[in-house]
Amino acid sequence: MTDPLPPRLVLSPGPHLRAEMTTQQIMWWVSGALAPVYLWAVAIYGLRVIVLLVSGIGGAVAGEWLVNRLRSQAQTLSDGSAVLTGLLLVGTISPGLPAWMPAVGGFLGLVCAKMLFGGLGYNIFNPALVGRAIMMATFPVAMTTTWLTPRLGAFMGTDAVTQASPLGIMKLEGLAKATEILGMGPEYYWHLLVGLRVGSVGEVSVVLMLLGAGVLLWKRIIKWYIPLSVLAGLLLIALCSGIPLFHLLTGGLWFGAFFMATDYVTAPMMPKGQIIFGLGIGVLTGVIRIWGGYPEGICYAILMVNAVTPALNHWFRPRRPHWEGAPS
Amino acid sequence: MSRSGAVIDAHHLEVTLVGPGLPSVADLRLTTTGDPDIPLEIAEVLFAPEKTNTVIVTTATTLDTKGSYQLFHQATGQWYAIAPSLIGIVISLLLAAALVQNFVFTRYLGLCVFFGVSRKRDTAIGMGVTFTIVGFCSGLLAWVLDRYVLRPLSLHFLEIIVFIGVVACLVQMTDTIMKKLHRTLHKKFGIYVVLITTNCIILAVPLLNAMNASGFWESLALALGSGLGFALALFLMSCARERADLAPVPLIFRGLPIAFILAGLFALAFLGFSGLQV
């Protein structure tokens, strides 16, 4: 019996639109857009950032590999999403953390939030942030006290100095005293903008993050709806605090708005839903920062609004186009 | 003694006086309500800007912004009550019960019903609505019984059994009335009404109210807030579970196991509310 001829007419159900980029390409573009941010982190916090990255990415990759192996299915590591998850996770933690902790966070985040739900595309919560939230619940002291003072050229020396983060000082000391300690002049805001401040690995340099975000926007990998509405939502609450510029430039706001909240899988699909999603993240971040128990709230804010995403997708569904005289 | 002032922050409170004139520090005596023997130290008394007869009292002792205090003006023999406004208390209690201390995600109550009916969105909405209404009624009824029967007769130790009775009777009554009056409604919500008796939240609310000796409006706020919070939790969970049902979840995790993991992740997200002041 001969093989059947290759089909000349292919019948398949929709959608027939092909995306210009594959998942793999998108993941590597996002990782590439983040590269300057991490290089800056190495420059000011030293080579230990690389150790943290290896640990976090290693944990995430191990989680995905292990679950695929246990389910005896094809490995999915080549799509690059596990590497990106590890990269993003390390961006949200303090640089002075013991090196084995990101591995635990990356592994648990990837297994609990992504692989148990069936892998890429099926997770409801952002795996990197679930990893961070688990680390925050498991190692609360290490996660909130191991900040390092930024020093240009830190990778030359080895001694690191510990200092509290700006939002931590704000939470602990109150507005009046924090203003005195931080000395909020134009110079301080300039340092916040370029990234000469105490903070998590990936969140310090607003300028470099904007550069990365610009690349992603230019390549149409992310759209502006979510990041802008996150910033607007936070501004709304920050105006009540009297120091809106400070709240806008500190914490993981830009990292979260451009690289975390825009995750395709855990964000709503339609623009209206995305705007509500973003505003919700911004407002909750501000509420947690100003009235909550944690100094920074963007991680929990994104997780909470992730929980609402399935409902938002249900409320704002794409409508089938109807035009005059269309066959019903 | 009606309310005539409020605590502004940890060291300042604002009081509207009956007569004009600035009272001296020695002339005023500030105490915590219910503890009139220990005076709190006052540092300074000033007129509030742009308000007549209103003074700002600065204290040396730290005040509780949610506490209630009494101020005695010795020259006029006038008492002033300083307490947060009722609307403020009710709104903060409502928000706390619905979101910040959500009964399902932070106190882990009502889980059997939560997992039982969160499989589909429609049943989740039905259960949420029914529970909110019945929980509100039972909270109200339990408060009346507690305040006017159990407390005057010193029968605190009967709280649990009385509240179980109240809930059971109320649920049975609602079921019977609905069956007779509105067949369609009964068909739609009847099954949930019976399930409500197995929900621990409905018993937790009157017990919490009795333990805190809450007032009428506070009890209502807690009852309503807990119902709304449960409805919200059910709705969000049902949306997420409908999505997880379509996903290629590993075989051994299908159904309830993945729902447990989902609930754990929800609770992890709600950790962000811990320590929130409302």
List, for residues A296-313, the tens digit of each pLDDT value. Answer: 889 999 999 999 999 999
Which structure tokens are listed for A115?
Answer: 């692989």
**Interface touch B239/A293, C-beta < 8 Å:** no
**Interface touch B272/A288, C-beta < 8 Å:** yes
**Interface touch A292/B273, C-beta < 8 Å:** yes
Do B99 and B128 lie in one domain? The reply is yes
- Of B31, B64, B84, the one marking the end of a domain is B84
Residue B262: inside a domain: yes
* Cβ B142 vs Cβ B163: under 8 Å: yes
Using the Cα atoms of residue A135, residue A136, residue A138 and residue A141 in order, give the sign of their dihedral.
positive
Spatial neighbors of A48 by CB under 8 A, at least 6 apart, are A95, A96, A99, A160
**Interface touch B264/A310, C-beta < 8 Å:** no
Residue B167: inside a domain: yes
Residues of A in contact with B250 (CB under 8 A): 67, 71, 116, 118
**Interface touch B248/A307, C-beta < 8 Å:** no
CA pair distance A89, A99, nearest whole angstrom:
13
Residue A328, pLDDT above cutoff 60: no
List, for residues B195-246, the tens digit of each pLDDT value. Answer: 888 888 999 999 999 988 888 998 999 999 999 999 999 999 999 999 999 8
Residue of chain B with shortest Cα separation from A265: B243
Residue of chain B with shortest Cα separation from A73: B250
Do B27 and B94 lie in one domain? The reply is no
List, for residues A230-245, the tens digit of each pLDDT value. Answer: 999 999 999 988 788 8
Residue B33: inside a domain: yes
What is the count of structural domains for chain B?
A: 2
Residues of B in contact with A68 (CB under 8 A): none
* Cβ A37 vs Cβ A91: under 8 Å: yes
Give Cα A28 distance to the centre of its chain. 15
CA pair distance A223, A271, nearest whole angstrom:
9
* Cβ B221 vs Cβ B90: under 8 Å: yes
Residue from A301, A67, A122, A109 nearest B241 by CA: A122
Residue B278: inside a domain: no
CA pair distance B105, B264, nearest whole angstrom:
8
Chain B residues within 8 angstroms (CB to CB) of chain A: 121, 235-236, 239-240, 242-244, 247-250, 253, 258, 261-262, 264-266, 268-278
- Of B26, B59, B84, the one marking the end of a domain is B84
Do B16 and B58 lie in one domain? The reply is yes
**Interface touch A117/B278, C-beta < 8 Å:** no
pLDDT at B2: 64
**Interface touch B271/A137, C-beta < 8 Å:** yes
* Cβ A125 vs Cβ A303: under 8 Å: yes
Q: Which domain holds residue B264?
A: 87-271
Confidence grade of residue A14 (pLDDT, cut at 50, 70, 90):
low
CA pair distance A94, A52, nearest whole angstrom:
10
CA pair distance B171, B127, nearest whole angstrom:
13
Do B187 and B115 lie in one domain? The reply is yes
Burial code (b: 16+ CB inside 10 Å, e: under 16) for B100-116 equals: bbbbbbbbebbeebbbe
Which structure tokens are listed for B23?
Answer: 């009272």
Which CATH number goes with the domain that contains B53?
Answer: 2.60.40.1130
Residue B138: inside a domain: yes
Do B122 and B54 lie in one domain? The reply is no
Residue of chain B with shortest Cα separation from A295: B272
Q: What is the CA radius of gyration of chain B?
A: 24
In chain A, residues 89-118 whose CB comes closer than 8 Å to chain B:
112-113, 116-118
Do B46 and B94 lie in one domain? The reply is no
Residue from A199, A191, A209 nearest A97 by CA: A199
Min Cα–Cα distance to chain B from A57, Å: 21
**Which of B236, B264, B268 is facing A303, going by the closest CB pair?**
B268
Min Cα–Cα distance to chain B from A175, Å: 14
Do B57 and B176 lie in one domain? The reply is no
pLDDT at B186: 83
Instruction: Enter the ipTM.
Output: 0.88
Residue of chain B with shortest Cα separation from A111: B261
pLDDT at A284: 94
CA pair distance A234, A319, nearest whole angstrom:
31
Do B128 and B189 lie in one domain? The reply is yes
Residue A87, pLDDT above cutoff 90: yes
Q: Specify the pTM.
A: 0.86
Q: What is the CA radius of gyration of chain A?
A: 21
Residue B276: inside a domain: no
**Interface touch B272/A294, C-beta < 8 Å:** yes
Do B108 and B225 lie in one domain? The reply is yes
Residue B277: inside a domain: no
pLDDT cut 90: percent of chain A above it = 51
pLDDT at A279: 96
Do B221 and B143 lie in one domain? The reply is yes
**Interface touch A116/B273, C-beta < 8 Å:** no
Min Cα–Cα distance to chain A from B15, Å: 25
Using the Cα atoms of residue A58, residue A64, residue A67 and residue A68 in order, give the sign of their dihedral.
negative
Residue from A137, A133, A132, A115 nearest A124 by CA: A115
CA pair distance A293, B101, nearest whole angstrom:
13
- Of B51, B84, B117, the one marking the end of a domain is B84
**Interface touch A133/B271, C-beta < 8 Å:** yes
Q: At what angle do helices A206-218 and A186-194 cross, to 10 degrees?
A: 50
Residue B255: inside a domain: yes
Give Cα A188 distance to the centre of its chain. 25
Do B46 and B95 lie in one domain? The reply is no
Do B70 and B120 lie in one domain? The reply is no
Q: Which residues of chain B have pLDDT under 70?
A: 1-3, 278
Mutate to test the interface with A, among B101, B276, B277, B278 (most CBs of A within 10 A): B276
List, for residues B78-101, the tens digit of each pLDDT value. Answer: 888 877 777 888 888 888 888 888
List, for residues A58-71, the tens digit of each pLDDT value. Answer: 999 999 999 999 99
CA pair distance A286, A296, nearest whole angstrom:
9
How many Cβ contacts (< 8 angstroms) between chains A and B? 91
